[in-house]
Amino acid sequence: MTITKKHVLCLAIIFILALGAMSIASAYTGTGFSHNIPSSKYSDVSASDILSKYSNTNCHVEKTGVCTKVVDGDTIYLDTGEKVRLVGVNTPERGVEGYITSKNFVQKLCLNKQVGLDVDDSKHTDRYGRTLAVVIVDGKNLNEMLLKEGLAEIMYMPPSEFYPYSWANSDTPVASSHSSSSTSSSSADSSHSSSGSYVGNANSGKFHVSSCSSVSKMSEGNKVFFSSRDEAINQGYVPCKRCNP
Ligand SMILES: [Zn+2]
């Protein structure tokens, strides 16, 4: 068999597809939370239909703004320039199942409308400078609605003025304790066992060989286990300078 231009072209295409698949596989997926509620569930439901199911919140409107952009189910932008991260909840990241449904739900209730914020008095902003708050739509708690609808998981990160468990149903999923919305993933969570040869610290974002002295000082709740160095790197962890994993 001679290698023709066609063969070379085929190989090139396969190579490009493989690269694409790899980049999707390693894309950031947050805590890995997903749900399979179809976006069609809300297509024929109006915002007022949804709001009428819920009772008024006892959260207080401390400031208001018009929602100009819905980034995803738990992040919105206001015309005041404020970026708001809905406190106590976590919705699927872009590229994860359920992302569209959760985002569309928030768009339906918020986009181009005036919303209220009850800012978390215990922690005003997250590490990206986004305001941590309950978003209040027509007197209703949007964070609570996302949990009760199954569109978000509970992400309780003390210190917080709010206790999201009180908004949720008994079967609402809970984000694992070390999910800091940037470095962990479900694959790491599910491999919580001492068999991992690399150990990450969900708090510092560093990872170590399991024999590193830092690992013995790490609290159990912050440990994330990886079976390979690549796995840790792919999830955004940086190598410890002492043990050089
Ligand atoms: Zn180390």
pLDDT of residue 231: 87
Of the two residues 92 and 11, the one the predictor is more confident about is 92
Q: In b/e form, how buried is each residue of 99-119, taking b as 16+ CB within 10 angstroms?
A: bebbbbbbbbbbbeeebbbbb
Compute, in angstroms, the gap from residue 196 CA to the centroid of ligand 1. Answer: 14
Compute, in angstroms, the gap from residue 22 CA to the centroid of ligand 1. Answer: 28
Q: Where residue 1 falls among pLDDT bands split at 50, 70, 90?
A: low
Percentage above 70 pLDDT, the chain: 82
Mean pLDDT of 157-176: 91
Ramachandran angles phi, psi of 179, nearest 5°: -70, 110
At residue 164's C-alpha, the angle toward residues 32 and 57, to 5°, is 130
Compute, in angstroms, the gap from residue 2 CA to the centroid of ligand 1. Answer: 52
Compute, in angstroms, the gap from residue 174 CA to the centroid of ligand 1. Answer: 30
Indicate the CATH number of 39-167 among 2.60.120.20, 2.60.120.260, 2.40.50.90, 3.40.50.2000: 2.40.50.90
Percentage above 90 pLDDT, the chain: 58
Sequence-ordered list of residues with C-beta below 8 angstroms from that of 59, at least 6 positions apart, any chain: 118, 134, 136, 141, 162
| Mean pLDDT of the residues in the chain | 85
Compute, in angstroms, the gap from residue 187 CA to the centroid of ligand 1. Answer: 22
pTM over 0.85: no
Compute, in angstroms, the gap from residue 176 CA to the centroid of ligand 1. Answer: 23
Ranges of each domain in the chain: 39-167, 186-239
pLDDT of residue 59: 95
Q: How far is CA 196 from CA 18, 24, 243, in A?
A: 27, 24, 16
pLDDT of residue 41: 93
| Cis, bond preceding 159 (omega within 30 deg of 0) | yes
Compute, in angstroms, the gap from residue 205 CA to the centroid of ligand 1. Answer: 12
> Is residue 105 within 8 Å of 94, Cβ to Cβ?
no
Residue 95: count other Cβ atoms within 10 Å of its Cβ: 11
Mean pLDDT of 83-112: 95
Compute, in angstroms, the gap from residue 232 CA to the centroid of ligand 1. Answer: 13
At residue 125's C-alpha, the angle toward residues 121 and 128, to 5°, is 170
Classify residue 42 by its DSSP letter.
Answer: G
Residue with structure tokens 């610290």?
201
Compute, in angstroms, the gap from residue 210 CA to the centroid of ligand 1. Answer: 8
Compute, in angstroms, the gap from residue 239 CA to the centroid of ligand 1. Answer: 7
Ramachandran angles phi, psi of 27, nearest 5°: -60, 150
Compute, in angstroms, the gap from residue 229 CA to the centroid of ligand 1. Answer: 13
pLDDT tens digits for range 183-225: 434 343 333 344 468 998 887 888 999 889 889 888 888 888 8
Q: Which amino acid belongs to residue 77?
A: Y
Compute, in angstroms, the gap from residue 203 CA to the centroid of ligand 1. Answer: 14
Classify residue 167 by its DSSP letter.
Answer: G
